């Protein structure tokens, strides 16, 4: 039986299509000849997970991601279909952890077996969770470093700004110093003769002070001699005489207070006081009568009888006599 060319081309095309199909699934990691179970996992974020990414159990590849579908009715969560070999018995409470695939990147799903006795069947739903990968850990570790680095950069900028301001201040100080030095040089140049004269006067003053010191030494010697002479005086005897005079004066005053002697009687005797008081009263009466009746004592009449007036006048109201 002769096969036509068209039949040969058709058979070769079918073989090529079959090889392409099986090769495509082999490259994706699918085991075409083994039977599998399908399980579902719901994630809120798959973080770059794609179809055909491996499913690992204790590091062994036991399946692949078959499909990913968006669920708009559940706040846009993602339904991931896992294709796992039938020989893997997943118990109730098993979880599918979305994790990093390693340093080369990519995502994998790691199976965490549950401890419950019930075994999951085909098309059951696993618990979905996310495992912190290397990138997340590096990000968490690097974030404080970046924060500190940023703070360090800000502090360095502040320090550099302070150095700039300090440099400007130092430049201004140096300029002022140069200007001050120039002014001092000019001032010294202008007053050099005056300074020389001042120094000459100071030298003369020093010489005068030396001569004055030489002249003061004999005077100081004489002063010391005078002080010795004053110390040699009989100051003790003079003080004794003064004390004796004070004692005598106190004795005299004591006698006066006791009524001894003329002075004591004059001060303490009341009889003398009374006699003096009566004398003053009589004198007062005499003066009053003389003022009121002068004719009694002085008579200038040529004719007529002498009027002697009253014998006695009343006391002057201006006088006060203590009894």
- Tell how strand 107-112 and strand 95-100 pair up: antiparallel
Q: How far is CA 1 from the centre of its chain?
A: 111
Task: Convert the pLDDT of each residue in 192-225 to its tens digit.
Answer: 777 788 888 888 888 888 888 888 778 778 777 7
Low-confidence ranges of the chain (pLDDT < 50): 316-323
Task: Convert the pLDDT of each residue in 230-285 to its tens digit.
Answer: 665 566 677 788 888 888 888 887 777 776 777 666 677 777 778 878 888 888 88
Per the CB < 8 A criterion, the answer to whether 80 and 42 are in contact is yes
Among 160, 39, 181, smallest CA distance to 111 is for 39
C-alpha to C-alpha distance for 110 and 91, rounded to whole angstroms: 15
Other residues' Cβ atoms within 10 Å of the Cβ of residue 148: 10
C-alpha to C-alpha distance for 229 and 204, rounded to whole angstroms: 38
Q: Identify the pLDDT of residue 139.
A: 64
Q: Identify the pLDDT of residue 230.
A: 62
Phi/psi at 77 (5° precision)? -70, 165
C-alpha to C-alpha distance for 179 and 308, rounded to whole angstroms: 119
Q: What is the DSSP letter of 45?
A: -
- List the chain domain ranges: 1-32, 34-131, 138-186, 269-323
C-alpha to C-alpha distance for 80 and 97, rounded to whole angstroms: 12
C-alpha to C-alpha distance for 29 and 32, rounded to whole angstroms: 9
Q: Identify the pLDDT of residue 127.
A: 92
Which letter, b or e, does each residue of 192-203 get, where b requires 16 or more Cβ atoms within 10 Å of its Cβ?
A: eeeeeeeeeeee
């Amino acid at each position: 039986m002769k096969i036509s060319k068209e039949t040969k081309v058709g058979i070769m095309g079918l073989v090529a299509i079959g090889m392409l199909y099986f090769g495509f699934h082999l490259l994706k990691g699918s085991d075409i000849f083994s039977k599998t179970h399908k399980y579902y996992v719901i994630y809120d974020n798959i973080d770059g997970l794609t179809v055909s990414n491996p499913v690992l159990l204790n590091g062994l590849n036991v399946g692949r991601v078959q499909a990913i579908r968006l669920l708009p009715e559940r706040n846009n969560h993602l339904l991931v279909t896992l294709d796992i070999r039938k020989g893997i018995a997943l118990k109730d409470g098993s979880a599918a952890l979305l994790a990093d695939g390693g340093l080369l990147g990519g995502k994998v799903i790691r199976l965490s077996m549950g401890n419950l006795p019930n075994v999951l069947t085909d098309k059951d739903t696993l618990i979905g969770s996310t495992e912190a990968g290397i990138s997340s850990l590096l990000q968490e570790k690097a974030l404080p470093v970046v924060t500190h680095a940023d703070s360090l950069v800000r502090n360095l900028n502040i320090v550099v700004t302070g150095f700039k301001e300090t440099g400007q201040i130092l430049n201004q100080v140096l300029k002022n110093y140069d200007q001050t030095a120039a002014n001092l040089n000019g001032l010294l140049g202008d007053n050099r003769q005056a300074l020389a004269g001042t120094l000459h006067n100071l030298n003369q003053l020093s010489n005068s002070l030396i001569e004055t010191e030489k002249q003061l030494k004999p005077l100081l010697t004489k002063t010391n001699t005078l002080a010795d002479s004053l110390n040699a005086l009989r100051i003790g005897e003079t003080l004794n005489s003064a004390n004796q005079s004070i004692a005598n004066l106190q004795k005299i005053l004591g006698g006066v207070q006791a009524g001894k002697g003329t002075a004591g009687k004059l001060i303490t005797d009341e009889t003398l006081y009374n006699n003096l008081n009566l004398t003053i009263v009589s004198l007062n009466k005499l003066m009053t009568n003389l003022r009121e009746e002068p004719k009694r004592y002085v008579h200038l009449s040529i004719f007529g009888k002498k009027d002697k007036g009253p014998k006695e006048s009343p006391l002057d109201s201006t006088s006060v006599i203590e009894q």
